[in-house]
Structure 1
Amino acid sequence: MVEAVRRRGTDRPDDRRSADQLFDRELDHLPPEARWREWKNRVEATIFAASEPVGRETLARIVGKNCSIDLLIDDIREELRGRPYDLVAVAGGWKHLTRPAYADAIRSAVGGNERAVDLTQSEVLVLMCIGYFQPITRAELSSFFGKEISRDFIGHLRGAGLIASGPRSPTPGAPYTYVTTKEFLLEFGLDTLRDLPDFEALEDAGLLSKEKLLAGDIMPDFSAGR
């Protein structure tokens, strides 16, 4: 029966609107405390079930019009204190993520790398540069690092979905610029580009090594993209 309802809800926009009208967002029949608890349960369940971060507009469909989603999220996060996972603002929405302290345990249990994309230090360095200075051309990146950034290198980052073509540069030849994507925000656990960390934070996370950078040890990767 649930599957039948889903099909009816996705087949025709009119059916979808009818279902929305039947759905009780306000829960006026419940006392305030029970209403708040139900809204929290709806929000947490929706975020838990989603494969992508869930935005504010989506969550607004399942709670009362005067409900503060931010306060709901704060309450849920407070309840998750001490749990191995948290509700995190990322890529313009919210998503359940395991806490960094359990990364080693997760790797030991399921193997592999916890990161969605296996990045070299040079790739992280270029991504950081694009993140801070976008839109930026390949020539500008090469000038920034004093070493040619190959098309294959850029192609690997594009193939991973971490960067995309931006507007054409006003410089001679009108080359394409590059910008970061939503996948970039997801990969680095950022809500917006304003959350980009400084170099020291990336070094503390083991993503970059200032010692290797100063020694030039990570520059050769720029030609191969790996």
Structure 2
Amino acid sequence: MTMAEPDAGGTRRSRGSVSEDEVLLDRELADLPPEMRWREWMLRVEAVIFASAEPVSRETLARVVGRDCSIDLLIDDLLEELRSRPYEIVAVAGGWQHRTHSRFAASILASQAPTRGGAAALSDFEAMILMAIAYFQPITRSDLSKIFGKEISRDTIATLRNANFLASGPRSPTPGAPYTYVTTKHFLTAFGLQTLRDLPDIEALEDAGLLSRQVAHADPSAAIADGSEE
């Protein structure tokens, strides 16, 4: 049970509820020399990014530094400082996040140490469906079935939703107004994308043999090559 105590105005408030205004943080650090001030801001920004399980936005970082501090310049200095480390700060999903360099992936896997984050393991077919949704969203399950030439099961969609890659989009204007599916912010985070504009060009996927030469902006049912194979 949380105790309550009167505030200066005589009203009662919970000791457990502390507003943002009550958290005293000297953001400007005006009493420090410029070099020490900048260093403290760098450490604060790195600490927030390191502690967060999700990409940290510019607005969030701005809460711990001075009003005239450049977040971009702080990040640049942190990147330079981390250049020789096995991890870095990357721009992803509209924010920044700590990531281990890919060349250490084998070492981490071999260690069998528990890790945080990362993308859920998908089958090749599930990955193809996710790719189709990413390119043609918002899209219905019926339209996905047309693309792949076979029915896409609710279980497959549920797998992608449970992995937090998909969310419900607006209802389709087609008869019955079925729900559409769209990718989530977690999808961007897991695959290292800032926005959907960072998806590979359709032409690059064609060259890799993942899409047919009939790129179907108007007719997506022709878009995915070899879609009938799992």
Q: State TM-score, norm by structure 1.
A: 0.80
Residues 142-221 of structure 1 aligned to structure 2 (within 5 Å): 142-198=145-201, 210=210, 216=226, 219-221=228-230
**Segments of 4+ in structure 1 off by > 3 A?**
111-116, 198-203, 208-211, 218-221
Q: Confirm or deny: 8 A CA contact 2:166 2:187 kept in the other structure.
A: yes
- Structure 1 residues 29 and 133 mapped into 2: Cα distance closer, same or farther (>3 Å)? same
Match for residue 135 of structure 1? Answer: 138
Of the structure 1 ranges 118-127 and 56-65, higher mean CA displacement relative to structure 2 is found in 118-127
Task: Spell out, residue by residue over 1:50-92, the C-alpha distance to the aligned partner (whole angstroms, 9 max, x if none).
Answer: 2222111111110000111111111101111122111011222
Task: Spell out, residue by residue over 1:125-163, the C-alpha distance to the aligned partner (whole angstroms, 9 max, x if none).
Answer: 111111122111111112222222122211111121110
| Partner SS for 2:197 | helix
**Partners of 2:133 and 2:187 in 1: CA distance:** 11
Structure 1 letter corresponding to 2:125: S
Structure 2 letter corresponding to 1:44: E
Following superposition, the deviation at residue 200 of structure 1 comes to 8.2
Match for residue 11 of structure 1? Answer: 16
**Partners of 1:40 and 1:84 in 2: CA distance:** 19
Following superposition, the deviation at residue 29 of structure 1 comes to 1.2
Instruction: Please tell me whether Structure 1 or Structure 2 has the larger radius of gyration of its CA atoms.
Output: 2
Task: Spell out, residue by residue over 1:181-217, the C-alpha distance to the aligned partner (whole angstroms, 9 max, x if none).
Answer: 12211221222222223468789xxxx9749x85x4x
Following superposition, the deviation at residue 219 of structure 1 comes to 3.4
Q: Confirm or deny: 8 A CA contact 1:122 1:219 kept in the other structure.
A: no
Task: Spell out, residue by residue over 1:98-121, the C-alpha distance to the aligned partner (whole angstroms, 9 max, x if none).
Answer: 011111111011268994301112
Q: CA RMSD in A?
A: 2.9
Of the structure 1 ranges 180-189 and 107-116, higher mean CA displacement relative to structure 2 is found in 107-116
- Structure 1 residues 60 and 87 mapped into 2: Cα distance closer, same or farther (>3 Å)? same
Q: State TM-score, norm by structure 2.
A: 0.78
Unaligned runs of 5+ in 1: 1-8, 222-226
Q: Confirm or deny: 8 A CA contact 2:93 2:188 kept in the other structure.
A: yes
Task: Spell out, residue by residue over 1:25-61, the C-alpha distance to the aligned partner (whole angstroms, 9 max, x if none).
Answer: 0011112221111100110011112222211111111
Structure 2 letter corresponding to 1:12: S
Q: Confirm or deny: 8 A CA contact 2:149 2:228 kept in the other structure.
A: no
Structure with a larger share of its residues in helix: 1
**Partners of 1:50 and 1:66 in 2: CA distance:** 24
Match for residue 120 of structure 2? Answer: 117
**Partners of 2:60 and 2:124 in 1: CA distance:** 36
Unaligned runs of 5+ in 2: 1-13, 212-223
Structure 1 letter corresponding to 2:120: V
Residues 24-173 of structure 1 aligned to structure 2 (within 5 Å): 24-110=26-112, 115-173=118-176
